[in-house]
Structure 1
Amino acid sequence: MTGVGPVLVVTMIDDPTADLVMSELHDRDVPVVQLDSGDFPATLSFAATLTPHGIEGSLSTPTRTADLSRVRSLYYRRPSGFAFTHLDEQDTRFAVTQARYGLGGVYKPLSTPLYRVDGVSCTVEVAEVTADQVDDRVAGTAHLFQHRVDKVADVRVTVIGREVFSVRIDSDLLDWRTDYDRLTYSVVEPPPGITDALHRYLDHFGLVFGAFDFAVDRAGAWWFLECNPSGQWAWMEPETGLPMVAAMADLLERKTA
């Protein structure tokens, strides 16, 4: 990010080295916003949206606000750790992980640390939320919210090297992961331009594998939800007959690029 925006300095309050750098920047009339990520969420807040042009949003401290789209550079020094002293050990681990991945859903976790309810390992399922539910109760850590698509189906596209395996998943579920017995599968062709876009996405991040999720709306348009660089895929081969295991073996054997 370039321009006339501020330098973002992420460090603890007592950091003499960062103080010297910030003093030099001030002498050059370069705006600086200093923050300690460990202050989140007590005195540090943020909101950000991913757009086709980058990140839009802001970070706010008690005395400064940084427009993320205008930050010219980041100086990441020595921030303190996140602290959630009012939570038990399990909830603290969850909150710290969300804060770390949110700063560095339909509500989804940004990461999925081990979480147990009555001794059973659980995950956070996708659920619809309304505007009135997004209140102070979500202020405890970072969250990811996505616009709900009025969908008729989902699609999981698994890219293994240059091979692309596209599977439509039909169900009446908002989150199809919650009941695999209610799913039906069919092999489909991606709409024009999708395959090239997926390869560009992976090339940009230096990846050779990605599990992409899409929602299909009533007009047949595909809405991109996310890419999991270590997503599950093997359960779909028996359901569809797609040679996904062989493709992964080829990739690892370096038969394909």
Structure 2
Amino acid sequence: MTTGPERVLIVSETEDLHAAALQAVLRDRYAVNPLRLDLRDFPGEPGSFRLGESGTQRELAGLTGLDEVRAVWWRRPHPSRVPAGTRADDDAYRQAECDAFMEGLLWSLPARWVNDPGRDRLAHRKIVQLDAARRAGCAVPDTLVTNDPGRAREFIEYCAGPVIFKRTGTSRAEFAETRLVEPTDLDRLGAIRWAPTIFQRYIDPECDLRVVWVGGREWVVRIDSRSGAGQVDSRLDVSVDFSPNRLPPPVSAALATLMDALGLVFGVLDLRIGLDGEHYFLEVNPQGQFAYLEIKTGLPIFASLAGLLVHGDGSVSGW
């Protein structure tokens, strides 16, 4: 059990609203004032790792009690920010050294990780999670990930119906929506040669579900996407109804198998209930957005996450 203010660390960008909200819940609900770290502050601020007969000592300017940390929320961290020099090779060397130092300093902590950085990075790969979801027993729409225009055209013809396309990776660049393949897109398939793309059979929705997974606790939100502009991508419309929901036991069991296979204790999963009544897995984001779900529904998601960090348990009394 966490007993002191130095035991929880949030690694995120300074301006992250989710991190600020969790900090407030930890303070108000558990009397824990977590440490906050933006990796971009290094190497502008000094840091050290000392190992000797008396043990280890980790130091970062501005953080007191880093060695006492026993729980970490790894929340969308930036890499270290190294000033540009005159030679690109020198810049790359310094960047690699700073990243290796910071990752080693933090990842060596004997802490509960939400999520383990290595697992988090692996699970961000869409191909990994789609294959794991299929093996876990989730229903997954027919999918092709390719940079081959010919293969893409064949898949679109094979589906004999609407097909969506979306990005394969993730970045902090401009938001990329999921879109239906239109006839005009067929003339531009050559562009995927330089940007592998996900193509997927379109599932006409009864509704969408966004599931926030917190240490085995499911916070399920039903999104009435069919009634609004977000039938293709429900993230684009927050004007429709959002309501708490539950998963059928077989779907819940499949998601538990999936999250265990990916090694994730936290994630935001997108499911779609088709007109056939099937629950289709679309993707899981290990660092997904969820604050708006709590605002819309009143579900205590931040309290659940705080409990996972403090006690290792995402349950919330009364829910």
- Tell me, in whole angstroms, the C-alpha distance in 2 between the residues paired with 1:222 and 1:109: 22
TM-score relative to the length of structure 1:
0.54
Equivalent residue for 2:274? 217
2:236 is the alignment partner of 1:178: yes
| Preserved CA contact (<8 Å) 1:112 1:123 | no
TM-score relative to the length of structure 2:
0.44
- Tell me, in whole angstroms, the C-alpha distance in 2 between the residues paired with 1:147 and 1:57: 9
- Tell me, in whole angstroms, the C-alpha distance in 1 between the residues paired with 2:131 and 2:166: 15
Structure 2: which amino acid aligns with 1:135? L
| Preserved CA contact (<8 Å) 1:176 1:183 | no
2:185 is the alignment partner of 1:128: no
- Tell me, in whole angstroms, the C-alpha distance in 1 between the residues paired with 2:170 and 2:144: 24
Equivalent residue for 1:162? 216
SS of residue in 2 equivalent to 1:125: coil
Structure 2: which amino acid aligns with 1:195? S
Unaligned runs of 5+ in 1: 1-46, 61-104, 116-121
| Preserved CA contact (<8 Å) 2:145 2:168 | no
The match for 2:198 among 131, 144, 148 is 144
Q: Which has the higher contact order (CA 8 A, sep 6+)?
A: 2
- Tell me, in whole angstroms, the C-alpha distance in 1 between the residues paired with 2:311 and 2:165: 38
Structure 1, residues 6-54: CA drift from partner, whole Å, max 9, x if none? Answer: xxxxxxxxxxxxxxxxxxxxxxxxxxxxxxxxxxxxxxxxx99848369
Count of aligned residue pairs for this structure pair = 159
Structure 1, residues 59-117: CA drift from partner, whole Å, max 9, x if none? Answer: 99xxxxxxxxxxxxxxxxxxxxxxxxxxxxxxxxxxxxxxxxxxxx92222223343xx
Which is richer in helix? Answer: 2
SS of residue in 2 equivalent to 1:242: coil
Query: Alignment RMSD, CA only?
Result: 3.2
Which is richer in strand? Answer: 1
- Tell me, in whole angstroms, the C-alpha distance in 2 between the residues paired with 1:125 and 1:225: 14
Where do residues 1-257 of structure 1 align in structure 2 (5 Å cutoff)?
50=131, 52=134, 106-115=164-173, 122-130=174-182, 132-133=186-187, 135-171=189-225, 172=228, 173=230, 174-180=232-238, 182-256=239-313
Quickly say closer, same or farther: Cα 1:133–1:154, change in 2 above 3 A. Answer: farther
